[in-house]
């Protein structure tokens, strides 16, 4: 823990699945003086970051930037396209899907939660929190909605509380197969710029994202990527919207400015992040995250601990959820690891609190930072008296050695 009178030597290992470590290049870029947000230099910066963001979301359409955490962008997405009492179809994939649903309820909307029933016999965890979105259940439910009362289908692309991704293109196909006009709204707050994501090609109407995960920025800005259909829906939707309203922002963004004071220094950081990400190429970045994830899973499997994601087809490239044995408090383990090794791991959230911890492997990592994190986990597990089947560290070394990193494009 960083306090004024405590200066641990060496770097803290921030291995939670967001905020992710901020590269020095980005920190330096953010330390430049704040400029006039109505002046000529600002417009050039605005146009550049907005164009770069479109490339990262893989869209031709506007991306709105808010000076808010991801939660603000969740609210913005709903407030722009919904009218009071609108029905939504959501899927319980974990804690973040649950929070988005609660937020929808507080806005006066009527979300319906599709959930996978039951509990896993091996881990005792809810099945819904170990799987991705079942697209066929969405198709079924939409077919039954003959009056087209459901306004939008809202799903989480990379469920950060579980380490499970969802097949967004399959959700689009399910909506189309049902011949239903619902909008497709996707939370890719922790997926963007780490896990493959294609806003236009996958037919997403609103993508919600944030700065502090794959984009390697500090928390504080968040995004709505839009489709023409979402922009059209916003024109007739009647939930009150002022600060979040897309129309004024999109209008002023055409010249690189905002209707209010934007988060100038975070935009400097975003400019730098986009330069790093687009310079390396999204495909290289996606492959890199998949490779890290495979190395971390090799370690977890060698320990003999269950990976929270029960479906190998949707393992998250961003983080891995590790289930602790019954009777081992995962939060006590995390605390021990933090105290002894200055390594932060993600806590179990909501229904899996105390039963699992999360290893983030996103953004500004490399093989050796991940090896350090896995060493911290293995030492901590041993200190906590957890019986391990074998050495995860040795397994990860073997994995990374046998699978050289793809070279940067």
Ligand X SMILES: *Cc1c(COP(=O)(O)O)cnc(C)c1O
Which residues does the annotation place in the binding site for substrate? 358
The C-alpha atoms of residue 63 and residue 256 are separated, in whole angstroms, by 12
Whichever of 187 and 196 has its CB closer to ligand X, that residue is 187
Sign of the dihedral defined by the CA atoms of residues 310, 105, 331, 19, in that order? positive
The C-alpha atoms of residue 264 and residue 253 are separated, in whole angstroms, by 14
Q: Does 308 bind ligand X (CB under 6 A)?
A: no
Q: Does 19 bind ligand X (CB under 6 A)?
A: no
Beta strands in 347-408 (DSSP E): 356-360
Q: Does 156 bind ligand X (CB under 6 A)?
A: yes
Whichever of 95 and 151 has its CB closer to ligand X, that residue is 95
**DSSP line for 151-200:** EEEEEESEETTTTEE--HHHHHHHHHHTT---EEEEE-TTTTTTS---TT
Report, in Å, the least distance between residue 139 CB and ligand X: 23
Torsion of CA 19, 20, 26, 27, to 10 degrees: 60
CA atoms within 13 Å, Cβ hemisphere of 369: 20
Which of 12, 23, 71, 127 binds ligand X (CB under 6 A)? It is: 71
Token pair 């560290």 in the structure block, residue: 393
Token pair 């967004």 in the structure block, residue: 168
C-beta of residue 42 within 8 angstroms of C-beta of residue 263: no
Choices 1-9, 63-71, 199-207, 292-300; region in contact with ligand X by CB under 6 A:
63-71
Residues that contact ligand X, how many (by CB under 6 A)? 12
The C-alpha atoms of residue 319 and residue 362 are separated, in whole angstroms, by 7
Q: Does 272 bind ligand X (CB under 6 A)?
A: no
Residues 6+ apart with CB under 8 A from 236: none
What tokens does 191 get?
């997926």
Which of 187, 196, 272, 367 binds ligand X (CB under 6 A)? It is: 187
Choices 64-72, 272-280, 333-341, 391-399; region in contact with ligand X by CB under 6 A:
64-72
Which of 16, 189, 356, 359 binds ligand X (CB under 6 A)? It is: 189
CA atoms within 13 Å, Cβ hemisphere of 367: 15
Choices 30-38, 85-93, 184-192, 195-203; region in contact with ligand X by CB under 6 A:
184-192
Which of 13, 18, 226, 244 binds ligand X (CB under 6 A)? It is: 18
The C-alpha atoms of residue 170 and residue 389 are separated, in whole angstroms, by 37
What tokens does 103 get?
């937020």
- CA dist list (Å): 50 to 24, 59, 203, 250, 394: 23, 11, 20, 10, 43
Query: Could you tell me the end-to-end alpha-carbon distance of the chain, in angstroms, rounded to an integer?
Result: 37
Whichever of 58 and 190 has its CB closer to ligand X, that residue is 190
**Burial class of 43 by CB neighbour count within 10 A (0 to 12, 13 to 18, 19+):** middle
Whichever of 160 and 224 has its CB closer to ligand X, that residue is 160
The C-alpha atoms of residue 235 and residue 387 are separated, in whole angstroms, by 59
Whichever of 320 and 375 has its CB closer to ligand X, that residue is 320
Q: Which residue is nearest to ligand X (CB)?
A: 70
Whichever of 216 and 381 has its CB closer to ligand X, that residue is 216
Name which of residues 126 to 155 contact ligand X (CB under 6 A). none
Name which of residues 77 to 96 contact ligand X (CB under 6 A). 96
Choices 84-92, 104-112, 187-195, 320-328; region in contact with ligand X by CB under 6 A:
187-195
Q: Does 70 bind ligand X (CB under 6 A)?
A: yes
Choices 3-11, 49-57, 67-75, 300-308; region in contact with ligand X by CB under 6 A:
67-75
The C-alpha atoms of residue 378 and residue 374 are separated, in whole angstroms, by 6
Residues that constitute the known binding site? 358
Report, in Å, the least distance between residue 262 CB and ligand X: 17
Report, in Å, the least distance between residue 75 CB and ligand X: 10
Whichever of 26 and 178 has its CB closer to ligand X, that residue is 26
Site string for ligand X, 191-230 (x = CB under 6 A): -------------------x--------x-----------
Whichever of 180 and 199 has its CB closer to ligand X, that residue is 199
Whichever of 164 and 277 has its CB closer to ligand X, that residue is 164
Q: Does 160 bind ligand X (CB under 6 A)?
A: yes
Residues at the contact surface with ligand X, assessed by CB under 6 A: 18, 69-71, 96, 156, 160, 187, 189-190, 210, 219
């Amino acid at each position: 823990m960083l306090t004024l009178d405590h200066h641990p030597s060496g770097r803290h290992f921030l291995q939670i699945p967001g905020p992710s470590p901020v590269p020095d290049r980005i920190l330096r870029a953010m330390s430049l003086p704040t400029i006039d947000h109505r002046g000529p230099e600002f417009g050039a910066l605005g146009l550049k970051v907005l164009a770069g963001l479109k490339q990262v979301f893989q869209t031709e359409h506007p991306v709105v930037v808010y000076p808010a955490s991801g939660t603000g962008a969740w609210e913005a997405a709903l407030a722009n396209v919904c009218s009071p009492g609108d029905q939504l179809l959501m899927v319980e994939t974990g804690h973040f899907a649950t929070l988005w649903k609660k937020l929808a309820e507080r806005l006066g909307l009527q979300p319906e939660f599709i959930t996978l029933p039951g509990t896993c016999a091996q881990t005792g965890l809810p099945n819904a929190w170990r799987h991705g979105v079942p697209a066929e259940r969405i198709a079924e439910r939409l077919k039954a909605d003959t009056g087209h009362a459901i306004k939008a289908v809202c799903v989480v692309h990379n469920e950060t509380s579980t380490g499970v991704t969802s097949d967004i293109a399959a959700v689009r196909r399910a909506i189309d197969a049902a011949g239903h006009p619902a909008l497709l709204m996707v939370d890719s707050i922790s997926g963007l710029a780490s896990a493959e994501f294609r806003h236009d090609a996958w037919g997403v109407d609103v993508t919600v994202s944030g700065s502090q995960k794959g984009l390697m920025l500090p928390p504080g800005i968040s995004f709505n990527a839009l489709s023409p259909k979402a922009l059209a829906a916003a024109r007739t939707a009647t939930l009150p919207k002022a600060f979040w309203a897309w129309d004024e922002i999109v209008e002023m963004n055409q010249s690189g400015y905002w209707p209010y004071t934007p988060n100038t220094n975070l935009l400097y950081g975003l400019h730098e992040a986009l330069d790093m990400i687009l310079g390396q190429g999204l495909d290289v970045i996606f492959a890199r995250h998949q490779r890290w994830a495979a190395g971390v899973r090799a370690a977890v499997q060698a320990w003999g601990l269950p990976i929270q994601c029960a479906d190998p087809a949707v393992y998250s490239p961003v983080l891995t959820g590790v289930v602790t044995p019954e009777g081992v408090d995962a939060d006590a383990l995390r605390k021990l690891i933090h105290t002894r090794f200055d390594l932060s791991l993600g806590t179990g959230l909501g229904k899996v609190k105390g039963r699992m911890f999360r290893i983030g492997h996103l953004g500004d990592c490399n093989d050796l930072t991940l090896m350090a994190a896995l060493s911290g986990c293995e030492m901590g597990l041993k200190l906590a008296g957890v019986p391990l089947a074998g050495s995860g560290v040795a397994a990860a070394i073997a994995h990374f050695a046998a699978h050289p990193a793809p070279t940067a494009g």
